[in-house]
Amino acid sequence: MTSPARSVVASLCAAVCLTGMLAGCNAKEDSGKASSSQVAVKVNKEEISVHQINGLLSRRNDIPPDQIDRARSAAAERLIDQELLLQQAKLKKLDRNPNVMQMIEFSRRDILARAYGEEIMGGAVQPTDAQIADFYDKNPEMFSKRRIYNLQEINMQVSADRLDEVRAQVQAAGNPQQIVNWLNEQKIQFAVNVSIKPAEQIPPEVLKRIGGLNAGQAIFIGTTTGAVLVFIGGVRDEPIDRTAGKPIIQNILLNQARAESIRAEIKRLRDAASIEYVGEFKPPAEAEPPAPAAKAPTEQSESSSEGDSSVQSMIEKGGIKLK
């Protein structure tokens, strides 16, 4: 387990690296010193520039106009604290510590890779009106038949050999509280999450399965660590027409296009590159079976067992009715 001290060092290094890259490494001129108009604060003999402060503020886009001065002041104080810690880190030669150097290099690689990825995704083409209309028609659960769900999720950590027992108890239960009581009696670990979610905030595969259900029904899904019961406590219709749905769909399709553009670029780079696996490392296709198509986060991601097939059939029947 990582110690608190190492966590602080890691956070500091990441912050120093990120801030340094965003702010242009203290925004020093060729002479090695910032001009007087660029200097905002001097900490011992080191300078914090206006560019650094503005760079830090640029990462936020929710600052009200009347709060800009206060935000600039807070950013300056944050950079002062960071500079003091940085100076002490250098004094103790932590910048030469192998672990710290490795973290800094990792952060640098990550930032540069992300920067190139954002450049590629920035070239994604806006969706056409025809694509937007097609998406609207093919996803009624999100728009013309959109609903707001009051959900109660019971995520159970249970071994595969007890799934049938849990499934039977769920089918026999009158309400979620009875299931919770039984789980407590059996000393089965679980977590309960209650939420009110519009359709667009529910994973698509789960949404398609609960779309036709009503209050009092539930679906039972096998997971890699056990099972999750998604109980519908209440539901109300709240459709979105084509006009209101257009900006939502534009954002969805643009994000999909961006994701596809970066996948295509990675494939192009991989195809053009010479990649040689050494020692015990092998290509994913040789190391393990390929992953199935994208599924809901709570669903089994590996090959289904006999028990999981029963869970699947239960879902296909339209859910469990809790009286």
Look at residue 171 and tell me whether its pLDDT is greater than 60: yes
pLDDT at 9 over 70: no
* Residue in this structure with the two tokens 């969706």, named with its chain if needed: 127
Segment 27-40, tens digit of pLDDT:
443 344 455 569 99
Q: Is 238 within 8 Å of 120 (Cβ atoms)?
A: no
pLDDT at 98 over 80: yes
Polymer length in residues for the chain: 323
The dihedrals phi and psi of 184, each to the nearest 5 degrees, come to -65, -45
List pLDDT tens digits, range 221-257: 888 889 999 999 999 999 999 999 999 999 999 999 9
Helix (H, G, I), strand (E, B) or coil at 12: helix
- What's the mean per-residue pLDDT of the chain? 80
Per-residue pLDDT at 264: 96
Per-residue pLDDT tens over the stretch 254-270: 999 999 999 999 999 99
Rounded distance between C-alpha atoms, residue 55 and residue 77, angstroms: 14
The pTM assigned to this predicted structure is 0.61
Which residues does 223 contact at the CB level (< 8 Å), separation at least 6?
A: 155, 298, 299, 300
Mean pLDDT value across residues 98-127: 95
| Residue of 214 and 301 predicted with greater confidence | 214
Could you say which DSSP state residue 57 is in? H
For residue 11, the model assigns a pLDDT of 46
Smallest Cα–Cα separation from 63: which of 72, 52, 76? Answer: 72
Q: What are phi and psi of 28, to 5 degrees?
A: -75, 145
Q: Taking the CA of residue 169 as centre, how many other CA atoms within 13 Å lie in the half-sphere pointing to its CB?
A: 20
